[in-house]
Chains A and B, each alone.
Chain A
Amino acid sequence: MKFIDEYQDNKLAQGLARKIAKRSTKTIRLMEFCGGHTHAILRYGIRQLVPKTIELRSGPGCPVCVTATADLDKAIALAKLPGVAITTFGDMIRVPGSYSSLQKAKAEGADVRIVYSTIDAVEIAKANPGKSVIFIGIGFETTAPTIAASILKAQQEKIENFYVLSLNKLTPPVMKALLDSGEIKLDGIIGPGHVSVIIGSHPYEFIPRDYGVACVISGFEPLDILLCIDKLVEQIEKGEPKVEIAYPRGVKPEGNRKAWQLMEDVFEIDEANWRGIGIVPQSGLKIRRKYERFDADKAFSVSLKPPREPKGCRCGDVIRGAATPLECKLFRKVCTPERPVGPCMVSSEGACAAYYQYGTTENLQDF
């Protein structure tokens, strides 16, 4: 086993595609929650492998994209404070805020550093005792445990100059908010793979129970996704929606208790501001009082002008699945990866970036 080639096997994929085509009779709409799924679907041409009656719509699962403009403005304002170093995951620095971006702030002299892991941010704080090192904590349940671990490490090692701006978000509550809004009709959800490694499959039970929508958790390799679509189609055709795991090598129904406990120790549940969706109750993570000395929100105060959304940008609609990137007038004409207008074109998990990067031969004329 090499754990890569096996999940990209052409013959198995063709077989699964035939199975899906045979099984599928209804016209249905599935939402892939994760940007990682959108990228894999377009990169491997999965949409061309499944019947045209199965629509695949991208959802809100892109951590950079869902970060509210107001929160991004705050991060930029923090970066401009004297003696502060901002540490963040790479994509974040290129996202335009209302008036600037972390990248621009960096070019103007702010200390902004890209890290690949939260623990690296703690190391930077340790190596630079004269600086206040703030980590911009974005992501879902996938990154939250590592951010919790970084706070615990900083406490253990008595690192006084490490802070986290917690913008972490939770997936089941936003799924509920999307389903409640009824803005788009969904028959099934391709459930997040990496998030579910942490939280397991139980938190999604309300989806089939309360909304009659099928939910199958998927890995990120092409065969994982095809298997997931097959299971979704099976459920929908039979009219028996439920939660299933099509990614058993990664996800256990109960999730990862240890990671979950880390999160619970450090964070408490709070509302969160989502780009395109607004305030969603109980969908965010706030640093608990006992760790508040690491909370950048408490340690620093910045004054902010009211946030401004870029004119014509439909990232909000794309995040909710209410529009595809192709429906945005700015897509490819004004908004490109080189000069992104909204975050969905910046992030390597953004839907617009995926549509931009991986066109199909069917819409070649658009390129």
Chain B
Amino acid sequence: MDDSILLAHGSGGKLSHELVEKKFLPFLANPALNKLDDSAVFEASGRLAFTTDGYVVNPIFFPGGDIGKLAVCGTVNDLAMNGAKPLYLSLSAIIEEGFLLSELEQIMQSIKKAAEEAEVSIIAGDTKVVNRGQADKLFITTSGVGIISPGVDISGANARAGDKVLLSGTIGDHGIAIMSQREGLRFSMTLESDCAPLNKLVSQMLEVSSSIHCLRDPTRGGLATTLNELARQSKVGIVVEETKIPVKEEVKAVCELLGLDPIYVANEGKLVAIVDPADADKILARMRKNRYGRDAAIIGEVTKEHPGKVVMKTKLGPSRIVDMLSGELLPRIC
């Protein structure tokens, strides 16, 4: 086989078949996919959750992951945030002409690993090749289906006054790890993206409590944006304490240097849970036993005051409003 993707790999002809057989199937193989029918057929009953997401991260390889791992974890997490057990994913790749096959293989390898860890099967897929310059190396879209157990009712609209707000670990790791690799901002550090599938963590939380009201993963826009979304959706106020929010030293340092606030920096392996206060400690203890919830903390609570607004008690004591992220995160000049 050639060492980079040619337009002919997307022609639908021989090369296309060869690409699918050699570079996709060996990593994704499962009975539903192996049939190579026009659509995958599977059995399911009960309440289903369905989601889709596009991944265009730049750079495609970053410390702690790559676009493939991200594409699996992101969709798995979106399903898990509604309390669903993720079952099946579809994966569609748009590849820029000239993309290295060795890199594609590396990404497929990490897709395989992430899917295995999350215990999901990729049962449908598609590949397109576009002219050089019409895409940036590789874009991936994944969709996912999951099943929700009876009795589980998790939604961003379910927060109630008095509920506790839990965070599964340190914030800003993904955003800062990506930023450290961007052109013009390269700095060497050991920080890795937190990119991880959170479905097992969620199922363990659901095992110990039936009073989890909201779950959401604070991806783009960071913790601040997620808390605002939940406050608005549930028409409640949220109060958090800055000192309770776990932040790694490296992330703190880079944020100080660039004039960023970690509460706006992206995460890919963290979740916010809003839960009944009676169950908060029990859920926290269970979270901490999972590697992805090791640094979990109760960071605040839900109030009936200031509905739709998030207020943070700052490190120095006074309170201020925390708004959603607007625009892009940019370092200061002066």
Chain A residues with CB under 8 Å of chain B are: 2, 4, 8, 10, 13-14, 34-36, 39, 42-49, 61-64, 89-91, 94, 114-117, 120, 138-140, 142-143, 192, 194-195, 222, 336-338, 346, 348-349, 356-361, 364, 367
CB proximity of A226 to chain B, nearest CB, Å? 8
Check B321 against A358 for contact (C-beta < 8 Å). yes
Question: Which 10 A-B pairs have CB atoms at the shortest separation, nearest pair first?
Answer: A45-B318, A337-B326, A90-B330, A48-B318, A359-B321, A120-B184, A13-B316, A361-B319, A116-B184, A45-B314
On chain A, the residues within 8 Å of B261 by CB distance are: 43
Check B320 against A222 for contact (C-beta < 8 Å). no
CA distance A221 to B269 in the complex (A): 30
CA distance A318 to B326 in the complex (A): 21
Q: What are 25 of the A-B contact pairs (CB < 8 Å)?
A: A8-B315, A34-B334, A44-B318, A45-B314, A45-B316, A45-B317, A46-B318, A49-B316, A49-B317, A90-B330, A115-B184, A139-B333, A142-B334, A194-B334, A195-B334, A222-B315, A348-B330, A357-B326, A360-B321, A361-B311, A361-B319, A361-B320, A364-B311, A364-B321, A367-B309
Binds A, one of B68-76, B90-98, B249-257: B249-257
**Which A-chain residue is minimally distant from B316 (CB atoms)?**
A13
Q: Known: A195-B334, A348-B259, A364-B309. Is A14-B317 also a contact (CB below 8 A)?
A: yes
**Which B-chain residue is minimally distant from A194 (CB atoms)?**
B334
**Which B-chain residue is minimally distant from A91 (CB atoms)?**
B330
Output the residue of B309, B316, B331 with the most chain A CB within 10 A: B316
CA distance A61 to B332 in the complex (A): 12
Check A360 against B320 for contact (C-beta < 8 Å). yes
CB proximity of A247 to chain B, nearest CB, Å? 14
CB proximity of A219 to chain B, nearest CB, Å? 11
Say yes or no: is B21 at the interface (Cβ < 8 Å to chain A).
no
Question: How many of chain B's residues have a CB under 8 angstroms from any CB in A?
Answer: 30
Check A36 against B259 for contact (C-beta < 8 Å). yes
Say yes or no: is B2 at the interface (Cβ < 8 Å to chain A).
no
CA distance A28 to B280 in the complex (A): 47
CA distance A144 to B65 in the complex (A): 38
CA distance A7 to B317 in the complex (A): 14
CB proximity of A76 to chain B, nearest CB, Å? 19
Check B319 against A45 for contact (C-beta < 8 Å). yes
On chain B, the residues within 8 Å of A14 by CB distance are: 316-317
**Which A-chain residue is minimally distant from B305 (CB atoms)?**
A364
Check B333 against A4 for contact (C-beta < 8 Å). no
**Which A-chain residue is minimally distant from B179 (CB atoms)?**
A116
CA distance A154 to B328 in the complex (A): 30
CA distance A351 to B327 in the complex (A): 16
Chain B, residues 144-180, CB within 8 Å of chain A (1/0): the string is 0000000000000000000000000000000000000
Known: A49-B318, A116-B331, A120-B184. 14 other contacts (CB 8 A): A34-B334, A44-B315, A49-B317, A90-B330, A192-B334, A194-B334, A222-B316, A348-B331, A349-B332, A356-B323, A356-B326, A359-B323, A360-B320, A361-B311
On chain A, the residues within 8 Å of B243 by CB distance are: 10
Check B316 against A36 for contact (C-beta < 8 Å). no
CB proximity of A349 to chain B, nearest CB, Å? 6
Check B314 against A63 for contact (C-beta < 8 Å). no
CA distance A359 to B318 in the complex (A): 11
CA distance A35 to B259 in the complex (A): 11
Output the residue of B249, B261, B332 with the most chain A CB within 10 A: B332
Check B317 against A10 for contact (C-beta < 8 Å). yes
Q: Known: A338-B327, A364-B309. Is A36-B334 also a contact (CB below 8 A)?
A: yes
CB proximity of A207 to chain B, nearest CB, Å? 20
Q: Known: A4-B252, A10-B315, A49-B318. Is A35-B185 also a contact (CB below 8 A)?
A: no
CA distance A301 to B97 in the complex (A): 39
CB proximity of A63 to chain B, nearest CB, Å? 5
Output the residue of A8, A34, A338 with the most chain B CB within 10 A: A8
Check B334 against A63 for contact (C-beta < 8 Å). yes
Check A143 against B321 for contact (C-beta < 8 Å). no
CB proximity of A212 to chain B, nearest CB, Å? 27
Say yes or no: is B306 at the interface (Cβ < 8 Å to chain A).
yes
Check A360 against B318 for contact (C-beta < 8 Å). yes
**Which A-chain residue is minimally distant from B224 (CB atoms)?**
A357
Q: Known: A10-B317, A361-B321. Is A348-B332 also a contact (CB below 8 A)?
A: yes
CA distance A194 to B249 in the complex (A): 23
Check A43 against B334 for contact (C-beta < 8 Å). no
- Find A117's partner among B184, B311, B332 (CB 8 Å cutoff): B184
CA distance A48 to B320 in the complex (A): 10
Q: Known: A94-B327, A348-B259. Is A46-B316 also a contact (CB below 8 A)?
A: yes
CA distance A117 to B186 in the complex (A): 11
CB proximity of A160 to chain B, nearest CB, Å? 22
Output the residue of A44, A116, A140 with the most chain B CB within 10 A: A116
On chain A, the residues within 8 Å of B326 by CB distance are: 336-338, 356-357
CB proximity of B117 to chain A, nearest CB, Å? 34
CB proximity of A13 to chain B, nearest CB, Å? 4
CA distance A43 to B332 in the complex (A): 15
CA distance A39 to B334 in the complex (A): 12
On chain A, the residues within 8 Å of B320 by CB distance are: 42-43, 45, 358-361
Q: Known: A115-B184, A358-B321. Is A89-B315 also a contact (CB below 8 A)?
A: no
Output the residue of A45, A63, A222 with the most chain B CB within 10 A: A45
Output the residue of A4, A8, A48, A348 with the most chain B CB within 10 A: A348
CA distance A336 to B328 in the complex (A): 14
Check B316 against A143 for contact (C-beta < 8 Å). no
On chain A, the residues within 8 Å of B334 by CB distance are: 34-36, 61-63, 139-140, 142-143, 192, 194-195, 349
CA distance A336 to B325 in the complex (A): 12
Check A43 against B314 for contact (C-beta < 8 Å). yes
CA distance A116 to B326 in the complex (A): 20
- Find A138's partner among B184, B318, B333 (CB 8 Å cutoff): B333
